[in-house]
Amino acid sequence: MVRREWEPAPAMKKPRQHRSRQRKRMRAAPPGSMPGTLIADPNGLQPKLRVVAYGPDGVVERDLHDPHELREFFPKSEVTWLDVQGLGDAALIERLGEVFGLHRLWLEDVLSTRQRPKVENYGDIRYLVVRVLEGDAVLETDQISIFLGPRFVVTFQERYGDCFDTLRDRIRGGKGNLRSHGPSYLTYALLDAVIDHYFPVLERLGERIDALEDQLIEAPTSSSLAEIHEVRRELLTLRRAVWPLREALHHLLRDGDTAFTADTRIYLNDCYDHTVQIMDLVENYREIASGLIDVYLSSMSNRMNEVMKVLTVISTIFIPLTFVAGVYGMNFHPDAGPLSMPELRWPWGYAACLVFMAAIGISLTAWFWRKGWIFSGQPGERRHPKP
């Protein structure tokens, strides 16, 4: 399968000084509760049910209010796809589980939205968990639960809106192989849409890392280090989402799961290749991001060395001038004795002292310039200063 061209990534936003990060809290049953206890997040969105039933002859798409309305689609359609967006009603989720014959332990995992990507089998139903990228300022992942049955596919999502709009358009328009294949191909298409969603994010992260590297070399700032740590955190978020997904797909391909037809397994193998590619990019970017810390420390050290070099040169030039000014500032009168300062009564003594001090400063400055220690980029600069 040929990788399609990606749209150009938008220009990288300027890094923010502070970005609020609110980690999701796992919604879990109290300790000692019976397995399969369903507890919904009280702040969760109310579920919206959307069914897409299709076959080679046509498509029916409808919003539902009662889960039992699904029964009329099963005998009429080759594939029935129910998309549930919002997990704020545990009773509704439980009724959906009864309609499709979903195990309560799976429904408990659906409501506990911090699951790692995985694949589980129970009879003729397959349960897949994937994580889709969400957020712009702060990159996070949301859980999508996918149930694959003999003639149906059920997806549970935390929020309204998803990355499946293109897939729905393909079903409506009869484009590609969706209408002529069964539910396993739809499951592959859902996985492919989630995985493809990672590539634009990785592209933006790559551009962000390149811009950070240029910034660290040219003009590192105090906010650069915070930006580096934020990039590393986002790469870790990607790794936590993709690594177990790659292992889950490898498990499906290795064990030869009969729920996926031979034709679909070829496309599923393409999904696995994409996850391997994503993991390679993530690991490469993590190594580069770790190296950026060394670049930052090196750049800051070089800047400090340049500052110290300038201050040292200025101090070195003024040391002999301070000595001369200190000697003639003692004001020992020549009438006091023969070892006092006879220059104090000389008419040109003050001017001669200034000329002498200027000559010392100019001589030292010229010598430092010839050694290549100051005036970087001037014609007299030596590229490699003498020791």
Question: Would 197-304 and 305-371 be classified into the same CATH topology?
Answer: yes
Can you tell me which residue has the tokens 């498509």? 59
Residue type at position 170: R
Percent of the chain exceeding pLDDT 90 equals 37
Helices 104-111, 90-100: axis angle to 10 degrees equals: 140
Can you tell me which residue has the tokens 């070829």? 266
Percentages helix, strand, coil for the chain, rounded to the nearest 5?
50, 15, 35
Residue-wise pLDDT for 198-249, tens only, equals 999 999 999 999 998 888 888 777 788 888 889 999 999 999 999 999 999 9
Domain ranges across the chain = 35-187, 197-304, 305-371
Task: Write down the pLDDT at residue 86.
Answer: 93
- Going by CATH, does the domain composed of 305-371 fall within 3.40.50.300? no
CA distance 182 to 124: 14
Judged against a pLDDT cut of 90, whether residue 282 lies above it is answered with: yes
Q: What is the mean pLDDT of residues 332-354?
A: 76
Cα three-residue angle 115-235-119, rounded to 5 degrees? 30
Q: Which CATH class is domain 197-304?
A: mainly alpha
Please report which confidence band the pLDDT of residue 28 belongs to, taking 50, 70 and 90 as the band edges.
low
Asked which of 20-24, 130-134, 239-243 is least confident by mean pLDDT, the reply is 20-24
DSSP string, 12-74: PPPPPS-----PPPP--PPTTPPTT-----TTSPPPEEEEEEEETTEEEEEEESSGGGGGGTT
Q: What sign for the dihedral angle of Cα 365, 370, 374, 378?
A: positive
CA distance 328 to 212: 55
How far the first Cα of the chain sits from its last, in Å, is 61
Candidate CATH numbers 2.40.160.20, 3.20.20.140, 1.10.730.10, 3.30.460.20; the one for domain 35-187 = 3.30.460.20
Q: CB atoms < 10 A from the CB of 241, how many?
A: 23
Report which DSSP code applies to 89: -
Judged against a pLDDT cut of 50, whether residue 360 lies above it is answered with: yes
Task: Write down the pLDDT at residue 135.
Answer: 65
CA distance 59 to 194: 23
